[in-house]
Amino acid sequence: MGHNPRPALHHPTLETVLVTAVLHALSDETRLSIVRTLHAEPDGRACGTFPVNVAPSTLSHHFKVLREAGLIRQEDRGTQRWTVLRVREVDARFPGFLNAVIAATEVASARS
Amino acid sequence: MGHNPRPALHHPTLETVLVTAVLHALSDETRLSIVRTLHAEPDGRACGTFPVNVAPSTLSHHFKVLREAGLIRQEDRGTQRWTVLRVREVDARFPGFLNAVIAATEVASARS
DNA sequence: GGTATTATTCGACATATTTCGAAAGAAGGC
DNA sequence: GCCTTCTTTCGAAATATGTCGAATAATACC
């Protein structure tokens, strides 16, 4: 590999994450859309493949907020950064929360 | 009554409220504390009785955010403004969501 | 009408957050 | 080593948000 490998990403344990940080992370339209997409695709996705309308730098910002809120796990695969939702960990920490949020967004988009 | 009664407060129907607005409303420590307090007291409370540490003007701001997110209902009783959580309406619109959020905060405060 | 109580509004300030383009950087292929 | 691909970082700008004190305003009591 290269002589300066990318630094390892920090993934906080769910126990250290504030409830308000999680709620804040999900209160943004773009981040909520990312989480919905990942919830429907347990195998995850590469950064550049999400159906969102923001600049790549803004997307990096949003991934960072989600990662620091403990909602996603990311790892590098070649030039791509792969993202999965930390469903089990979030469900263990906040039982029923993620499903309720996803369900709430589905009602909203069904009405649109 | 007086000749200039206070204008009626606007309480949006839950159908018109964005999921992100609800999540945003709850992503603040003070507002989350208000919602927890109200969840435990279905009869509601007067504005000045909540165990929070902010100025009255800031509290008014937070009540406004919660009201506009459709989470609380407020009415005037003499010089007091009474507040209740709109539990049934929120549960009807976002089944399981409110309980999951409250449960999440209880885990958090149990760990403190 | 004056006073007390309760709460809001107003305006200002500080901080937080979202956004982007340009530059930078790592991995991979040739 | 160069080029391509993918993504991040940096710095800046705009917007959003939380905070407060002072002033305002309605209700209630006398």
Q: Is A106 an interface residue toward B (CB < 8 Å)?
A: no
Which residues have C-beta within 8 Å of that of residue A64, sequence separation ≥ 6?
A: none
What pLDDT is stored for residue A107 in this prediction?
67
- Interface confidence, given as ipTM, is 0.91
What pLDDT is stored for residue B5 in this prediction?
74
Which residues have C-beta within 8 Å of that of residue B104, sequence separation ≥ 6?
A: A19, A22, A93, A94, A97
- Report the Cα–Cα distance between both ends of chain A, in Å, rounded: 48
Q: pLDDT (tens digit, 9 = 90+) per residue, B45-97?
A: 999 999 999 999 999 999 999 999 999 999 999 999 999 999 999 999 999 99
Q: What backbone torsions phi and psi does residue A46 show, to the nearest 5 degrees?
A: -85, 155
Q: Delineate the domains of chain A, giving CATH numbers in brackets.
A: 15-111 (1.10.10.10)
Interface A-B, measured as beta-carbon pairs within 8 A, has a size of 76
Q: Is B93 an interface residue toward A (CB < 8 Å)?
A: yes
Q: Is A92 an interface residue toward B (CB < 8 Å)?
A: no
A112 vs B20 pLDDT, higher one: B20
Chain B residues near residue A107 by CB distance under 8 angstroms: 93-94
Q: pLDDT (tens digit, 9 = 90+) per residue, A70-98?
A: 999 999 999 999 999 999 999 999 999 99
What pLDDT is stored for residue B76 in this prediction?
94
Min Cα distance B51 → chain A (Å) is: 18
H/E stretch holding B73 reads strand B72-77
Min Cα distance A35 → chain B (Å) is: 13
What pLDDT is stored for residue A29 in this prediction?
96
Q: pLDDT (tens digit, 9 = 90+) per residue, A30-65?
A: 999 999 999 999 999 999 999 999 999 999 999 999
